[in-house]
Amino acid sequence: MDELIIASRAVHFAAAALLVGAPLFRLAVAPDGLRSDAGGRAVEIAAAVAALVSGLGWFAGVAATMAGSFADAITPDTLQAVTFDTRFGHLWLARLVLLAALMAVQAIAKPSPARDAALLALAAAFAASLVGVGHGMTGAGHGPEVARIHMAADVVHLLCAATWIGGLVGLGRLLHRVMIGKETLDVLREALRRFSLIGYWAVALVLITGCINALVMVPGPASLIGSDYGHALLVKLALVAVLVAMAIGNRVVLTPRIMAAEQPGAVRNLWRSVLVEQGVGLAVLAAAAWLGTIHPVP
C-alpha cells in the first residue's frame, strides 16, 4: 500500500510541476513567436491524464490503508467515508474539478496568452492544494501563527519547485528545436535571459521555504540522523544540492557559451545537461513523495 501511495504521489507531483511550468514558460520566458508551441499541448494533456491516473492510485492506496486491504477498500461504505469524511477526500474532489477544468481549457481554447493565464491559475491552485495532504498542517502543533507561516511556506515551496522543474521541460524542448533548426539562436538567447531571472527567484525561494519547513518539522540536528523522517529529508536535501549545483553550472559555464557566440556543440551540451537536470528534479519529487508518507519528527 505504501509503495502504491509513494509511486502515485511521485507521478502526481511530476504532473503538477509540468502543468504549472509549461504555461508559465510560454507567458514569461518564450519570445512571442514561440509561445504557440513552447509547452506542447499533447505533452500537457498527457500530464493531466497522468495526474488523473496517479490521483486514482493515490486514492486507492489511502482507502486500502484505512480499510486494511484493497478488497475492503472498494466497498461503498469505505469509498464514501474516504471521499466525504476526510480532508484527503475533500481535497481529492477539489483537485478532480481543477483537473477537469484544465483538460477542458486545453482541449477547447485556442492558444493565446489568456488561455495560458487560465491554465497557469488552474495549475497553481491544483499544485497548492497538495499542501493539505502532506505535512503542511504540522505547524499547528506550534500554535496558529507558526501554522500559518508553515502553510504559506509550503505553498510557496511547492509552486517554486513546480516552476523550476516544470520550466525545465519547456527549456529542453526549446533547445531541441534550436538543434533541429526550427528556432534561431536569437530566440534561445532571449529565452535563456528570462529563464535565468525566474530561476534565480525560484531556487532562492525553494531554499528559503525549505529551511522554514525543516525548522518546523525537525526539532534539532540530531533528529536528522536518529529518525526515518530525518533520513528521508537528508536524501532529498542531497538531491536538491545536486540540482542546485547543476543549475549553477548551466548558468555559469554552458549558458555564456551560447550567449557570447555560436560555438559548435554549445546548444547540444546545454540540452543534455538540462535533460540530466530534469532527471534529478524527478528524483527530488520522488524523494518528496516518500518524505510525505513518513510521520514527522515529534
Domain boundaries along the sequence of the chain? 2-291
pLDDT at position 216, please? 81
Residue type, 244: V
What is each CA distance from 235 to 139, 190, 230, in whole angstroms? 22, 35, 9
User: What is the pTM for the complete model shown?
Assistant: 0.89
pLDDT at position 118, please? 95
Give 183's contacts (C-beta < 8 A, 6+ positions apart).
34, 174, 177
* Average pLDDT over every residue of 76-97: 87
Confidence category of residue 111, pLDDT binned at 50, 70, 90: confident
| Secondary-structure class of domain 2-291 per CATH | mainly alpha
Take residue 115 and report the three cell numbers written for it.
488561455
Query: What mean pLDDT value characterizes the chain?
Result: 86
pLDDT at position 143, please? 61
User: Which residue, chain included where needed, has cell 523550476?
Assistant: 164
Confidence category of residue 274, pLDDT binned at 50, 70, 90: very high
